[in-house]
Homo-oligomer: A and B are copies of this chain.
């Protein structure tokens, strides 16, 4: 595939992803942003422009940025305020076959997706002091790349919300190999939403679906118990 084809495919893939996530209610109110890695060396990303309606993205709603978050094209276009979190996601160790991705020559992250679901906001706020949303005993966790059993405790890390995005991006990156609450397939920002990624757009979409399902299951279990706080 030529780089021009890859660029076109990325745009069509993200337009379709936006419509899909919007319909599910995960990207309302011009929230969320999505990106696809165009080149790995040097790192360039195609990312949704700032403030676009994700249910009605068009070919003109995307920006190409470099590894410093600077706009490459189109001239003067403004990327999302959260560009640095996409760059951090693009550099995350990819989880494959149960092993953390450890090099730069194997299949790296190909797409990064950020969503704003209701359950993500509710549970990232509720479990903030714990530091993570605990997931255990649910088969669907096996839909996360490299997870092969439902029995282990999986921790979805939660970071505090902030308007200082570069600082948050730095905090996220420092947790990729954390022994206690590592950032593996994604993380939540408190009262805000989810970041996740995958080797390509398809895998990243699957991770969004898996996380959203697991969050809803967790929320409904707590709701049935009637004792959140």
Q: Which residues of A contact B (CB under 8 A)?
A: 25, 28-31, 53, 116, 118-119, 121-122, 125-126, 137-140, 143, 148-150, 161, 163, 189-193, 202, 206-207, 209-210, 212-213, 216-217, 219-229
Contact = CB atoms under 8 A, between A and B. Distances in A.
A45 to B, nearest CB: 22
A145 to B, nearest CB: 11
Contact of A125 (B118, B137, B191, B210): B137
Contacts of A30: 143, 206
B220 A225 contact: no
B143 A216 contact: no
A139 B191 contact: yes
B189 A118 contact: no
B28 A122 contact: no
Contacts of A202: 53
A44 to B, nearest CB: 27
A48 B39 CA distance: 34
A228 B226 CA distance: 8
A116 B137 contact: no
Contact of A138 (B139, B191, B217, B222): B191
Q: Which of A116, A150, A223 has the most CB of B within 10 A?
A: A223
A193 B25 CA distance: 20
A216 B193 CA distance: 15
A190 B163 CA distance: 34
13 contacts: A29-B209, A29-B213, A116-B213, A119-B220, A121-B138, A137-B161, A138-B192, A139-B161, A140-B192, A149-B163, A219-B224, A221-B228, A223-B224
